[in-house]
Amino acid sequence: MSGAAAPEPFDAVDVIRAKRDGGAVPEDALRWMIDAYTRGYVMDAQMSAFTMAVLLNGMSRDEIRVMTDAMIASGERMSFDGLGKTTVDKHSTGGVGDKITLPLAPLVAAFGVAVPQLSGRGLGHTGGTLDKLESIPGWRAALSNDELHAQLRDVGAVICAAGSGLAPADKRLYALRDVTGTVEAIPLIASSIMSKKIAEGTAALVLDVKFGSGAFMQDIDRARELARTMVGLGTDSGVATTALLTDMNTPLGLAIGNANEVRESVEVLAGGGPADVVELTVALAREMLALAGQPDADVEAAMRDGRAMDVWRAMIRAQDGDPDAALPTPRETHTVTAPRGGTVIRMEALPFGIAAWRLGAGRARAEDAVIHAAGIDLHVKPGDIVAEGAPVFTLSADDPARFARALEAIEGAWDIGDDAPAASSLVRERITADSI
């Protein structure tokens, strides 16, 4: 006859009450709460109450560190100690037209640094890096740990799907937050992102924290708070971490979609591409290489002389993709032209992201497929002069019936005027461990 199960050391209700009443949760109780929820002892209803208390009352830096560490401890922790290269990763909070990972990973790897970029798929108006790369014929996102290590050693850059063993507590918490109105809680956002990034095993991390119309955090002050929280978490966990606050009020680059964003990324690697994509790619590369001990690296030269492109091609081939294959093209297009001449003064990111989603470039549910050829190509950006009747943007889809709803999303989201908009910097702030 087996003995009774050992009693639990804490009570979930006591943990909930402590946070509900604005107090701090003791470290051992908080670790237990995350572990007990992961193994199913703490119920969804109880964790929902706890996350709402966190949303309303916040958490101290130490509490967030403990919760993040407990989420890391719920699964495996990768290590690149035997690689013989410095590892540095980048994470973006997402936006519209944000394809920066694609040119950035091979660019940084061109300097002998290993870039283990574990990425995800898109949901809603923000695109997924893996969805973009799956536009390339043959390319595969799933790699074993042995394949990942070998590619980092031989090529230097990997962009692949994260394994299910990394921070499984986060997977449960993320799904719960999505249906309980607690997605916006900064301690929960920060611990969700950083638990996976720290478990990934990188030695250094650069965060691209976006604000504005097309960003997860529309308000710059909340984006700054999130950035500072995540830099603190990385620092407290021994991961050298910096963050850039970047503007996502206007779509990034000229391409919004999947296959068209791959084309634009290749243009950047070839030394061309839109100025804003180049600017952010270079800024993030400099941050990553500085953390890797190469603060004086000439990243623009690596794009001009073909080194970054060589790594891109090797990275795609290593994951069974054909870098020379034709990318998907749409069956149908619809071009919107300027109703008058003047200067483009506004293009709001969020409506354009929603429009691309409605064209088929994104998904409403995790199990939905994306249409790789669908999306939007901008012909002008704010500050550009356009003539009456000239193309402003082109919608692409496989089904022309999708155009009407996409156009509804964009209606009123762009303007042409007489005066140029005030210039603003894409990279607004830099946040380091010393500045928090």
CATH of the domain at 377: 3.90.1170.30
Angle, vertex CA 405, rays to CA 399 and CA 411, nearest 5 = 135
Question: Percentage of the chain surpassing pLDDT 90?
Answer: 88
Residue 167: left (phi > 0), alpha (psi -120 to 50), or beta? Answer: left
Q: Measured in whole angstroms, how far is the alpha carbon of residue 107 from the centre of its chain?
A: 18
pLDDT at position 162: 85
- Residues 275, 240 contacting (CB under 8 angstroms): no
SS3 assignment for 19-80: HHCCCCCCHHHHHHHHHHHHCCCCCHHHHHHHHHHHHHHCCCHHHHHHHHHHHHHCCCCCCC
Q: With 60 as the cut, is the pLDDT of residue 3 above it?
A: no
The reply to whether 105 and 228 lie within a common domain is yes
Give the per-residue pLDDT at 286.
Answer: 98
Indicate the residue among 310, 325, 340 that finishes a domain. Answer: 325
**125 and 199 both lie in a single domain:** yes
Indicate if 34 and 142 belong to the same structural domain: no
Q: Dump pLDDT digits (tens) for 299-341.
A: 999 999 999 999 999 999 999 999 999 999 999 999 999 999 9
For 149-196, write each residue's pLDDT tens digit. Answer: 999 999 999 999 987 788 999 989 988 988 898 988 999 999 999 999
pLDDT at 122 over 80: no
Q: Is residue 128 part of a domain?
A: yes
Instruction: Give a yes or no: residue 429 inside a domain.
Output: no
Same-domain check for residues 408 and 290: no
Same domain, 224 and 369: no
For residue 5, pLDDT beyond 90: no
Say if residue 320 is in the same domain as residue 337.
no
Residues of the domain holding 316: 88-166+183-325
Whether 124 has a pLDDT exceeding 70, the answer reads no
Q: Kindly state whether residue 71 falls inside one of the protein's structural domains.
A: no
Q: Tens digits of per-residue pLDDT, 88-116? A: 999 999 899 999 999 999 999 999 999 99
Question: How far does CA 357 lie from the centroid of its chain?
Answer: 17
The whole-number pLDDT of residue 126 equals 66
Q: How many domains does the chain have?
A: 3
Q: Which of these, 101, 127, 117, lies nearest to 284 by C-alpha position? A: 101
Sheet of strand 240-247, all strands in order from the earlier edge strand to the far edge: 88-92, 204-211, 240-247, 427-431
Query: What is the predicted pLDDT for the residue at 174?
Result: 87
pLDDT for 188 equals: 95
Task: Determine, yes or no, domain membership for 147.
Answer: yes
Whether residues 358 and 301 share a domain: the answer is: no
CATH number reported for the structural domain that contains residue 46 in this entry: 1.20.970.10
pLDDT-derived band at 41 (thresholds 50, 70, 90) equals: very high
What band does 1 get if pLDDT is binned at 50, 70 and 90? very low
Q: How does the average pLDDT of the chain come out, rounded?
A: 94
Clarify whether residues 319 and 349 are in a common domain.
Answer: no
Looking at the structure, do residues 197 and 106 belong to the same domain, yes or no? yes
Say whether pLDDT at 58 is over 50. yes
pTM: 0.94
Q: Would residue 105 count as lying in a domain?
A: yes
Average pLDDT for 120-146 = 88
247 and 311 part of one domain: yes
- Name the domain boundary from 285, 300, 325: 325
Q: Are residues 364 and 289 in the same domain?
A: no
Whether 123 shows a pLDDT value over 70: the answer reads no
> Which active-site residues does the annotation give?
91, 170, 177, 192, 196
List the CATH number of the domain containing 154.
Answer: 3.40.1030.10
> For 35-39, 78-82, 257-261, which range has the lowest pLDDT when averaged over its residues?
78-82
Give the residue from 160, 189, 196, 194 showing the smallest Cα distance to 78.
196
Residue 176 belongs to some domain of the structure: no
**Residue 114 confidence (pLDDT):** 98
262 and 376 share one domain: no
pLDDT of residue 353: 95
Q: Does residue 23 lie within any of the structural domains?
A: yes
Which runs of consecutive H residues, i.e. helices, occur in 179-329?
186-199, 220-236, 259-269, 275-291, 299-304, 307-318
pLDDT-derived band at 200, boundaries 50, 70, 90: very high
Domain membership of residue 76 (yes or no) is: no
Among 325, 354, 384, the domain-final residue is 325
**Cα radius of gyration (the chain):** 22
